Structure 1
């Protein structure tokens, strides 16, 4: 406390001297908060994104072995269920994530998201039948649905404005690392009997680490302030930003309504009231992200590579590298170019590369030409996705949603994401058989172009702005 008193005295002296020299009172600039203070908290929170990526990718290399061991080989609907049942669980977890995050806080929500992931992973690893596997995946899915919205909220609320985009990119990198870890760990699954069970056991470790380390992380000052716990909010701001920045940060918060609003927002207000526009933007953006077909690539890339005679190990490694590289570049550019530019470039690149897939599936390409177009197009498609369409929507929604509705609105928007994700995972193989690759990829590409038009018309740039400044800007737009 002594340090904080000394800082306060310096500020008082500086302001007094300024008033003596100039009656207009020149404002003394304060250095930006040090990003290192909040980085360790963001890294722990990113473990939930790592787990999300891991459980999305864990069935890619292991699905064939699972189907043989559990007796549903050749049943494409059962295979689709193993992939997509966790997405049904994710829908449930996401739907309640806002109420949980507002009720028990962000830190406890992370711990609650890890618990079903641990239980579900153990159930999957010890499954003796298809139904045991589906039940385990359903449990895992509830944790997957709870984790991403809480992570987006937490990162937005504990990060300094100048690096909020960069820190938001860290969660996408964690997702990429989770996907890559699942793919690499799953490589021996086709050679070693029962190896797929090890792949599920491994996921228990990061889930346990998240549970333990979140206990020593900072709580969101925004959540504490909303609950009327002002002193605790100040203490968390000091931990995250440093003592010099506590008063300015609390001043920003004071511009918003104060008090416990955890139960003050009705569902009808979100869907049909004054927040309908921002809810529409969030839901549509997540819907377009999934209708672009990205998760069909992540779930079934092994089958696509093998259809062209490309070893799935090499192909999936390249997919993981492209995803990681694009995410790193996106993290670097997020606070330089801005969210909107990355989204536009990303969806446009996805449309072009999906066009390459369409050409590869047509009669104009054959043999090696078709292979290079399809495989190369897929890798460029993943790279384009990772540059914007992957990391930006979650971050953007956590920024543009007003503080009063942020957690609950995020839950509803991500529920839309999970519903579409579920049906893409469930029906992709069936649609590929019945419609053919050319028509299906054309539909995916059309949604990418629709996303470009949507982003250009509706998305607001949030680069470098505080959450309160963004909220004021959106209110001004609503008034026009």
Structure 2
């Protein structure tokens, strides 16, 4: 009976996404108005402040490492725990993120995340001992766990399908901006001062959320029809024809809510495909070394005899063009192509780094190690910025229907942060044990990401969320 209801409401969307066929419900642009409006732009910018804070927090450990270890008398093991405890807090935030975003809404979840973020930064800035900075870092991690889920979901839910990918992938641009700013500030200010400066973008989002609408799809899911239509009209423009889009959203929401599923529902056959895609991409993203280059870039450069002052800032600055390029390529070439190109390029760059450390360990061409490592890191940053860094979050925000979005989103975000904790905690020990082997391992994971994308990941470019989600479920049957 449940399957029949689903098929009846969404029968016209049943076809495999992997074939890239085009049979859309309506045209890409909303009828009678522009798909890009000032309110939409403001809403996206306010939400993206969260990812700026995310990037700032991720890069903080790289700039603070040596000074904090000296001031607080921390060992490598103690600092590794400090660096990785953010991912523990993020894993807890990930578990709660989906249900929280469904219960209190997307806007309130972002607001709550910044309260924890501000408390965490204040805790680090005024900490008297190692426990103080660890508690502050864990609080920031909890906030980041909420941000990582709710920001891409909110942006995906407010943007029209013809520009959705471009908006969501801007997450990576804001992450890079946060990294650049924290690396730059770390050259001039102490780790305590940088902690206080980190509060500024948090406050910007707290204030900005007052002036933007809630997600129309969330309002529709809780039955607030008047607020839903008002929010959609504000986002699309007063002259835009939103009736067709409103009908599609309400119909899809009603159909999926007939089969309301909790966490146990994720293991139903019909949801197996989207869950495998989400979990696989998040796992391979982190096992490919994504978090390492944000958290321990100074350590990598120190190992290769590259300047730990100029090197990280230069990398953060030089990867900005790649992040900007990714924004424009997203809706031009699609998700699959960029993921595969990104994975192959990352594999090659990580292999170059592994080779350079292998040569260094065996006393061959040691004078080329700094250059090879710098170029390898730069190439990896470019490769990840256009694909594997941001696109898994884009796809996560697109593939899960409303009835499992909370549980599935929490699951894949938990997988992301759990694997991130494993990699960031183990990295320093891996680097000391076998530097070359560490980067060859990351390279092999990037190769796996290419194969996984080629075999499993569908193209979602230019399709409404409702169409994507229905087609993924239909693909199983």
2:55 aligns with: 53
SS at match of 2:81: helix
SS at match of 1:172: helix
Aligned pairs for 1:398-437 (under 5 A) are 398-434=397-433, 436-437=434-435
1:258 aligns with: 254
Q: Does 1:114 align with 2:109?
A: no
1:207 corresponds, among 198, 202, 208, to 202
1:158 aligns with: 158
Alpha-carbon separation, structure 1, partners of 2:313 and 2:149: 28
1:79 aligns with: 79
Is the deviation greater in 209-218 or in 303-312? Answer: 303-312
2:443 aligns with: 445
Largest Rg, 1 or 2: 1
- Aligned residue pair count: 445
C-alpha spacing 1:177/1:343, structure 2 compared with 1 (3 Å): same
SS at match of 1:362: helix
1:228 corresponds, among 219, 223, 227, to 223
Alpha-carbon separation, structure 2, partners of 1:58 and 1:311: 17
Aligned pairs for 1:27-426 (under 5 A) are 30-31=31-32, 33-37=34-38, 38-72=40-74, 75-189=75-189, 195-243=190-238, 244-258=240-254, 264-363=260-359, 365-426=364-425
How far did 1:257 drift?
Answer: 3.6
Alpha-carbon separation, structure 2, partners of 1:259 and 1:354: 46
Alpha-carbon separation, structure 1, partners of 2:168 and 2:458: 17
How far did 1:321 drift?
Answer: 2.2
2:469 aligns with: 471
How far did 1:254 drift?
Answer: 2.9
How far did 1:264 drift?
Answer: 3.7
Alpha-carbon separation, structure 2, partners of 1:260 and 1:162: 23
CA contact (8 A) 1:352 1:445 kept: yes
2:455 aligns with: 457
User: Normalising to structure 1: TM-score of the pair?
Assistant: 0.89
Q: Deviations over 1:90-146 (max 9, x none)?
A: 000111000000000001011011010011110110000001110111111100100
SS at match of 1:371: helix
CA contact (8 A) 2:338 2:387 kept: yes
Where has structure 1 moved over 6 Å in runs of 4 or more? none
CA contact (8 A) 1:228 1:259 kept: no
CA contact (8 A) 1:318 1:379 kept: no
CA contact (8 A) 1:116 1:142 kept: yes
Alpha-carbon separation, structure 2, partners of 1:308 and 1:452: 28
C-alpha spacing 1:105/1:349, structure 2 compared with 1 (3 Å): same
CA contact (8 A) 2:357 2:435 kept: yes
How far did 1:228 drift?
Answer: 0.8
SS at match of 1:309: coil
SS at match of 1:35: coil
Alpha-carbon separation, structure 1, partners of 2:344 and 2:128: 45
Alpha-carbon separation, structure 2, partners of 1:196 and 1:321: 20
Alpha-carbon separation, structure 2, partners of 1:216 and 1:262: 33
Q: Deviations over 1:356-378 (max 9, x none)?
A: 11211223842222222222111
Gaps of 5+ in 1: 1-26, 190-194
SS at match of 2:331: coil
How far did 1:262 drift?
Answer: 12
Alpha-carbon separation, structure 2, partners of 1:294 and 1:110: 24
CA contact (8 A) 1:156 1:168 kept: yes
SS at match of 2:265: helix
Alpha-carbon separation, structure 1, partners of 2:35 and 2:187: 41
1:18 aligns with: none
Alpha-carbon separation, structure 1, partners of 2:367 and 2:259: 60
How far did 1:29 drift?
Answer: 9.1
SS at match of 2:213: coil
Q: Whose relative contact order is higher, 1 or 2, with alpha carbons under 8 Å and at least 6 apart?
A: 2
Q: Deviations over 1:277-333 (max 9, x none)?
A: 211110110000000012212211112222333222221122202332211111000
Q: Deviations over 1:374-394 (max 9, x none)?
A: 221111011100010011000
Gaps of 5+ in 2: 1-26
CA contact (8 A) 2:269 2:476 kept: no
Alpha-carbon separation, structure 2, partners of 1:213 and 1:60: 29
Alpha-carbon separation, structure 2, partners of 1:147 and 1:374: 32
Is the deviation greater in 40-49 or in 208-217? Answer: 208-217
User: Normalising to structure 2: TM-score of the pair?
Assistant: 0.90
CA contact (8 A) 1:255 1:468 kept: no
How far did 1:170 drift?
Answer: 1.8
How far did 1:247 drift?
Answer: 0.3
